[in-house]
């Protein structure tokens, strides 16, 4: 589920990846130009890594900045360490298995602090199903496999916008997205009873609860260095480390895998 700040909303519905073009549409459900699986391997095909630079701009280390550390800051690696710790310490998030969560970033289009901060993309349909019928056609979400482990969620942060938020808001955003993952951890989103299944009946109450969880987590934490990278802003982090990098992967697509019934398949061939 996407977490936004201000009046802007994510471009696409958060519960399912964006539908692809007409060549993969119902008129020809078995014709695919995109793979059903995307695989990455640490040795042979590592995850693509990019510099965190606002789209259309070039970031440079300020002349007066101190010498950078040994290398650029790996945002996804630090965020994974933090999420590992959060899910290990927070009772309501212990169902989250981080080895099956792929972390990435997407570049923001401008330096405005308002807009998309982060989103969690489920890689399964309701109740963990791999396919879903839409009209006469069965669709499947692209499957992501990293080092032999199939991913169930894609957790994406919008950078550098996310890094320019206050520390408390950054941490609340992390809790916000992790909490969206189903208690069954089956690749689906957590669903609340009633009409507003994603944020319950009140998004404000949802956010208030996440803020409480974040505050409780930080209080008397024995290893505050785990979330220290969330305290500075984007430019300060860039100056300290000589750059910021992170993994970038495509947003998973919905791909047609066949007709919903044999009768429809036979009719399509006539």
Average pLDDT, the chain: 83
- Specify the pLDDT at position 11: 35
Domain range annotation of the chain:
3-259
In this predicted structure, the answer to whether residue 34 has a pLDDT above a threshold of 50 is yes
CA 40/CA 76 separation, integer angstroms: 16
191-217: average pLDDT: 78
Least confident of 123-127, 200-204, 224-228: 200-204
Whole-number pLDDT of residue 17: 42
pLDDT tens per residue across span 46-68:
999 999 987 645 444 433 444 55
Residue 90 has pLDDT above 60, yes or no: yes
Confidence of residue 4 (pLDDT cuts 50, 70, 90): low
What pLDDT score was predicted for residue 176? 95
- Between CA 122 and CA 1 the distance in angstroms is 8
In this predicted structure, the answer to whether residue 188 has a pLDDT above a threshold of 80 is yes
pLDDT at 206: 86
Band the pLDDT of 20: cuts 50, 70, 90. Answer: very low
- pLDDT for the residue 103: 98
| Alpha carbons 52 and 68: distance in angstroms, whole number | 16
Quickly state the pLDDT bin for 161 (edges 50, 70, 90): very high
The pTM score is 0.80
């Amino acid at each position: 589920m996407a977490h936004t700040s201000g009046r802007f909303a994510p471009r696409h519905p958060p519960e399912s990846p964006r539908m692809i073009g007409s060549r993969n549409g119902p008129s020809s459900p078995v014709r695919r130009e995109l793979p059903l699986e995307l695989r990455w391997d640490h040795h042979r095909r590592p995850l693509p890594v990019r510099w965190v630079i606002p789209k259309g701009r070039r970031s440079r280390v300020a002349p007066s900045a101190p010498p950078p550390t040994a290398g650029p800051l790996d945002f996804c690696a630090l965020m994974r360490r933090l999420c590992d710790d959060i899910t290990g310490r927070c009772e309501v998030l212990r169902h989250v298995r981080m080895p099956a969560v792929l972390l990435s970033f997407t570049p923001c289009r401008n330096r405005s602090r308002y807009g998309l901060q982060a989103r969690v993309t489920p890689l399964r349909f309701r109740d963990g199903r791999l396919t879903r019928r839409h009209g006469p056609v069965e669709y499947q979400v692209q499957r992501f496999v990293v080092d032999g482990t199939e991913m169930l969620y894609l957790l994406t942060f919008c950078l550098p916008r996310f890094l320019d938020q206050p520390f408390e808001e950054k941490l609340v955003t992390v809790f916000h997205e992790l909490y969206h993952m189903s208690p069954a951890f089956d690749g689906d989103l957590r669903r609340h009873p009633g009409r507003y299944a994603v944020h319950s009946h009140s998004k404000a109450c949802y956010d208030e609860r996440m803020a409480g969880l974040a505050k409780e987590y930080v209080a008397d934490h024995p290893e505050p260095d785990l979330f220290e990278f969330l305290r500075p802003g984007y430019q300060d982090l860039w100056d300290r480390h000589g750059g910021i990098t992170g993994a970038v992967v495509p947003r998973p697509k919905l791909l047609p895998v066949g007709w919903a019934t044999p009768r429809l398949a036979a009719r399509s061939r006539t």
